[in-house]
Amino acid sequence: MAESAPSTKPLAPVLYAFETADQLSSRLADFIIKAQDEAVSSKKGVFRLAISGGSLPKTLNALIGRPEVKWDKWRVFFADERLVPLHSEDSNFYTCNEELFSKVPELKREYIHTIDEKLLREPEELSDEYEKQLMTAFAGKDSVAFPRFDLVLLGMGPDGHTCSLFPGHALLNEELRWVAWLDDSPKPPPTRITLTFPVLRHAHRVAFVASGAGKQEVLAQALDHPGELPCSKIKPAPPGQVFWFTDLEAAKQDKATTYPLPAARVPNSERALLLCTVPRDSTVCGRQARLCERAAASGHILVRPQTRSGADDRPTGRVDKRTTANNRKVDNTLTFSRAHQAQRISAGSKHSMSELKLRRLTEHNQRLREDLERPRVRVSEASASLIQYCKSTRDHLCPSIWGPLPKNEDPYAPVAQGGCCTIM
Ligand SMILES: O=C1O[C@H](COP(=O)(O)O)[C@@H](O)[C@H](O)[C@H]1O
């Protein structure tokens, strides 16, 4: 029987809820270290991650002093950044620096990819330049379409925004750019850049951190109605997966079905709740079941019914293929921004962004040409030729039509016994 193709259906998100901020932080550190080890031991040899601002950086403090962290292998990007000077308290770099980078001198500044402050007044150029930094870091055959981060660490705003992707914003439909910009962010400061959905969906792992009662309602909405809020639109293709690191306040679920386990079996260090979303009325099966078993072995488990199933996988919003959300034409010829043209003229970097973009388009173009050149026949001709083939080709598996098979042509005839060769 033919082997079935691996499923492309996104895996259900996994949610961990911890009793204390310290537990959350320390388990998150374990999770990051695991992602780091996997990435470093692969042939890339480095760990490429994207970090958010807001409340997230503080939760990374359990990494400080952990001997397993290979800081020299880290390549850090920002999932989003506000267009303010890097020393401004509003800058995501500033927050990450205060909470983490400045406390780990082993993480060299050159591996922390920040925005170009000289371009703060030119958001389009600045986002192009940041995209170029990504392209240089991810240059390689497997990332021509989109970069694949080993880990993306995200926060979730009370309105369900993540990165700088806000509910109802046109950037939610961006399907071509790696990095996009906006100057109408509902949350100040207004001008920002952000990774786009296709990049987030491409990641190996996406981990959200959301804590506090203020996130309770929005977290419930994100889990109950996947695809509605920007944060729950991120559904990486398998084996990529979304993980939620929360505290009990945020994860408190009134409607959740709880399967209590004997409290005695729950070691204090393991007081995590694993909450899986499963379609209402369905039984937990397959991978989810294994996850549940594992969770059950170490603590409590909550299985939370999903109120709507299926509908959330449909794409939301249409994308005009010829225009990006930042309104740049991309129909086969690229309109290079001024910064790009300058780069092309200086022709300094081998992987200049325009060259990489051109390479992406050329490869895509080539694939389209090959498709076009494939010989085509009308459906009616193809059907006639198929009928003719069936009429003229004996099918031994249909003896009622083609008669019995001569023994020597029967593939199912028993093999002659008595050795592997015939002595004549
Ligand atoms: O503006 C932003 O907000 C989100 C969420 O922040 P939080 O403080 O509610 O966790 C953050 O993830 C993003 O990086 C930031 O620019």
Q: Which residues lie with the beta carbon below 6 Å from any ligand 1 atom?
A: 52-56, 80, 92, 154-155, 157, 162, 164, 187
251 CA from centroid of ligand 1 (Å): 18
pLDDT at 384: 81
Average pLDDT over residues 176-205: 96
**pLDDT of 229 over the 50 cut:** yes
Q: What is this structure's pTM?
A: 0.66
Sheet of 151-155: strand order equals: 74-78, 47-51, 151-155, 205-210, 241-247, 14-18, 273-279, 300-306, 257-259
First to last CA, the chain: 38
146 CA from centroid of ligand 1 (Å): 23
Of 242-246, 306-310, 406-410, the poorest mean pLDDT is in: 306-310
User: Is 206 in contact with 243 (CB distance < 8 Å)?
Assistant: yes
Tracing tokens 């082997």 back to the chain, one arrives at 3
Closest atom of ligand 1 to CA, residue 185: 1
**pLDDT of 273 over the 80 cut:** no
8 CA from centroid of ligand 1 (Å): 29
Q: Measuring CA to CA, which residue among 45, 364, 321, 372 is closest to residue 175?
A: 321
pLDDT at 143: 53
Average pLDDT over residues 333-346: 28
**344-351 contacts, C-beta under 8 A, 24 or more apart:** 349/132, 349/136, 351/135, 351/136, 351/139
pLDDT at 11: 84
Residue 60 pLDDT level (bands cut at 50, 70, 90): very high
79 CA from centroid of ligand 1 (Å): 10
Which of 24, 96, 164 is the best mutation target for the ligand 1 pocket, counting ligand atoms within 8 Å of the beta carbon and taking the most?
A: 164
User: Is 261 in contact with 300 (CB distance < 8 Å)?
Assistant: yes
**Alpha helices in 42-181, H assignment, sequence order:** 92-99, 123-138
Whether ipTM tops 0.85, in short, is yes
Fold type of domain 14-251: Rossmann fold (3.40.50)
